């Protein structure tokens, strides 16, 4: 199998234990690096034996792990156009290990051993991860930070959850549902989603059909509906569905497929059930959709429209009105970072009149619910003051417990850690070209938030993974958590060997060296920075204290920013007569 196996640059990076940027550098700098044997100019494939021989000659030998052997065997069984179908077939065998006549016996044996050793669910997830990586330009699962937020805001865990545009099942997997119901128009995609859920022993029903044209769950209701639907589809079936009962709030115009998805989701929510759906920003303000938006507001179905400050889609939160229930008088229209949305929503639920917008004020000629357009109006009212007060009250300020120490320390340096193999260091290239790929900036590292930059794809890019330390020339340092993210200019990546060095401990030492005495113009060479020599367990204890101190710093800065807004809004609201002095 390995004689004719082909690997991508991402495969090589994973197998060799390096970043993909290193593979790009090898290709540029070494004329004897193996030539592509297939793929495309942007996604070339290389001979696995040739890559292994080349790396062995440079002292980087590696052997394929069992899961990588299975992946290579699976990929070698046909072309990449049918790769998804082969992944689905492998998942079907893992879920129901009954041999079929057309099974590859070698692959079947590998999958059986992996299932016994690691578990069938783990094995299939690993195959899926490699499949998504192989087609990363074409496949776009819902970002985990959005999925987790939607789950928390709707209280989806342990309930019956429906996703009518489920893709590979990202939202259903994140939901922690007791019963998961899904639908996707692509047969292979729906099959993979269903298998991922079944292998995790979730009560699952997933159908392969277009949910708007062929509703597989007609007449059925769920506790929670989560959805990340396709955007800007003009041929979604409007002509075929003119009299459909789902259009309770109005027939969606041909160019408003997203409002068809909104009403489909509401039709499948139980009375009082929650809906969270990702929407394009334009859906909040397009004139063609104003009648439906107005009807959603009047009925009390549309509860919130939130624009993420970091970009991306908007989040709409809806509730299916219960019979006889009085519609609410307000809705939340807001811009916020992903991390701020949940506390803002909780503040709105607790004090809707203080934090939300009056629906009567939203029902103007355009019914434009675009949060950015309403920012000025909100800032001129006392409602913004009260919302900021809620956030200020919730900000935590707790220092970690520290005590005096008088020990003599032995030190090493970052450079010595690199030489010993305990640490690897990369520096992000300068000035990336403009594009759409998310890019982490130095300001993002300082704020501890998601990537706000954008850049064009680049094989030389440096990408941070879970547990990597990211540092900027201005002294901002953090340990990355979450999905992989590309680093922007002025950022460096420090990857530790977790058997020898604790990432939080290293991050604290790096920050201590640059905070607050060194500026960007006087920054010393990071390789000369001293790091105390401690056993790993001691490093972890120090790392926990460093992390708590960093969280205190972030909370302090957040509270200061909110406090400045609080003072400004308080003065304005008192002067405008929108607030008055209270008792006490």
Mode of pairing for the β-strands spanning 269-279 and 179-184: unpaired
Residue 23: count other Cβ atoms within 10 Å of its Cβ: 23
| Residue pLDDT, tens place only, 156-179 | 999 999 999 999 999 999 999 999
Q: Confirm if 432 and 455 have CB atoms less than 8 A apart.
A: yes
From CA 527, how far away is CA 537, in angstroms rounded? 24
pLDDT of 81: 84
| Residue pLDDT, tens place only, 249-276 | 999 999 999 999 999 999 999 999 999 9
393's CB contacts (< 8 A; 6+ apart) are: none
Q: Confirm if 126 and 162 have CB atoms less than 8 A apart.
A: no
- CA-nearest of 338, 370, 435 to 143 is 338
pLDDT of 84: 93
pLDDT of 466: 92
The pLDDT > 70 percentage for the chain reads 91
309's CB contacts (< 8 A; 6+ apart) are: 335, 336, 337, 340, 452
Q: CA separation (Å) from 423 to 20, 410, 507, 537?
A: 17, 18, 12, 17
469's CB contacts (< 8 A; 6+ apart) are: 477, 478, 479, 480, 493, 494, 495, 496, 503, 506, 507, 510
Residues 98-109, mean pLDDT to the nearest whole number: 87
Residue 234: count other Cβ atoms within 10 Å of its Cβ: 10
181 pLDDT more than 90: yes
pLDDT of 321: 95
170's CB contacts (< 8 A; 6+ apart) are: 141, 142, 144, 147, 228
Q: Which residues pair with 205 in a beta bridge?
A: 181
Residues 97-102, mean pLDDT to the nearest whole number: 84
Residue 296 corresponds to which tokens in the numbers above?
Answer: 């959603």
pLDDT of 521: 35
Q: Confirm if 414 and 427 have CB atoms less than 8 A apart.
A: no
pLDDT of 40: 76
| Residue pLDDT, tens place only, 499-527 | 999 999 999 998 887 543 333 333 345 77
Residue 291 corresponds to which tokens in the numbers above?
Answer: 């009648």
From CA 177, how far away is CA 168, in angstroms rounded? 16
- Residue 517 is classified by DSSP as S
- Residue 555 is classified by DSSP as H
pLDDT of 515: 41
Residue 202: count other Cβ atoms within 10 Å of its Cβ: 19
Checking 402-408 for CB contacts under 8 A at 24+ apart, the result is 402/545
pLDDT higher at 80 or 428: 428
Residue-by-residue DSSP string for 245-264:
TT-TT-PPPTT-HHHHHHHH
Residues 546-570, mean pLDDT to the nearest whole number: 79
Residues 8-36, mean pLDDT to the nearest whole number: 85
The pLDDT > 90 percentage for the chain reads 55
Place 456 in a pLDDT band, splitting at 50, 70 and 90: confident
Instruction: Tell me the three-class secondary structure of 67-85, residue by residue.
Output: HHHHHHHHHHCCCHHHHHH
pTM of the complete model: 0.63
How many H helices and E strands in the chain? 21, 22
In this predicted structure, which of 111-125, 251-265, 527-541 has the lowest mean pLDDT? 527-541
């Amino acid at each position: 199998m390995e004689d004719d196996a082909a690997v991508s640059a991402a495969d090589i990076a994973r197998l060799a234990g390096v970043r993909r940027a290193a593979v790009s550098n090898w290709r540029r700098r070494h004329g004897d690096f193996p030539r592509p044997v297939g793929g495309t100019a942007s996604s070339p494939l290389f001979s696995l034996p040739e890559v292994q021989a080349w790396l062995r000659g440079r002292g980087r030998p590696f052997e394929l792990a069992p899961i990588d052997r299975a992946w290579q065997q699976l990929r070698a069984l046909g072309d990449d156009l049918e790769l998804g179908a082969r992944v689905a077939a492998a998942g079907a065998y893992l879920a129901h290990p009954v041999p079929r006549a057309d099974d590859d016996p070698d692959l079947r044996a590998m999958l059986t051993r992996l299932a016994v050793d690691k578990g069938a669910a783990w094995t299939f997830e690993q195959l899926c991860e490699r499949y998504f990586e192989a087609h990363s330009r074409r496949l776009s699962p819902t970002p985990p930070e959005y999925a987790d937020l939607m789950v928390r805001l709707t209280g989806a865990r342990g309930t019956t959850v429906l996703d009518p545009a489920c893709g590979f099942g990202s939202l259903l997997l994140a939901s922690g549902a007791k019963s998961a119901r899904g639908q996707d128009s692509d047969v292979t995609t729906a099959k993979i989603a269903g298998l991922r859920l079944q292998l995790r022993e979730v009560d699952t029903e997933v159908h392969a059909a277009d949910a708007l044209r062929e509703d597989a769950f007609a007449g059925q209701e769920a506790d929670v509906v989560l959805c990340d639907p396709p955007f800007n589809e003009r041929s979604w079936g409007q002509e075929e569905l003119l009299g459909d009962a789902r259009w309770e709030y109005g027939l969606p115009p041909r160019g408003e497929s997203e409002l068809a998805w909104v009403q489909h989701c509401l039709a499948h929510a139980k009375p009082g059930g929650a809906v969270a759906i990702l929407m394009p920003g334009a859906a909040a303000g397009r004139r063609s959709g104003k009648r439906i938006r107005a009807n959603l507001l009047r009925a009390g179905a549309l509860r919130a429209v939130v624009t993420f400050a970091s970009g991306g889609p908007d989040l709409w939160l809806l509730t299916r009105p219960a019979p006889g229930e009085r519609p609410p008088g307000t809705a939340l229209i807001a811009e916020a970072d992903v991390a701020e949305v949940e506390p803002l929503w909780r503040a709105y639920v607790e004090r809707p009149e203080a934090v939300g917008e009056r629906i009567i004020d939203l029902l103007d000629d355009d019914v434009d619910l675009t949060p950015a357009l309403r920012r000025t109006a909100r800032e001129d009212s006392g409602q913004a003051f009260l919302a900021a007060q809620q956030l200020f009250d919730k900000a935590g300020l707790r220092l970690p417990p520290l005590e005096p120490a008088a020990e003599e320390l032995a030190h090493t340096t970052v450079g010595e850690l690199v030489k010993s193999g305990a640490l690897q260091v990369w520096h992000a290239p300068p000035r990336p070209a403009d594009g759409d790929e998310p890019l982490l900036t130095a300001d993002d590292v300082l704020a501890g938030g998601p990537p706000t930059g954008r850049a064009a794809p680049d094989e030389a890019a440096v990408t941070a993974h879970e547990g990597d330390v990211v540092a900027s020339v201005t002294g901002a340092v953090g340990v990355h958590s979450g999905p992989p993210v590309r680093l922007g200019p002025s950022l460096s990546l420090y990857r530790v060997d977790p058997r020898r060095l604790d990432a939080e401990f290293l991050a604290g030492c790096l920050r201590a060296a640059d905070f607050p005495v060194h500026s960007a113009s006087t920054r010393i060479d990071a390789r000369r920075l001293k790091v105390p020599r401690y056993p790993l367990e001691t490093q972890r204890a120090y790392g926990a204290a460093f992390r708590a101190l960093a969280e205190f710093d972030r909370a302090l800065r957040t509270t200061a920013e909110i406090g400045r807004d609080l003072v400004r809004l308080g003065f304005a609201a008192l002067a405008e007569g929108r607030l008055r002095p209270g008792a006490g």
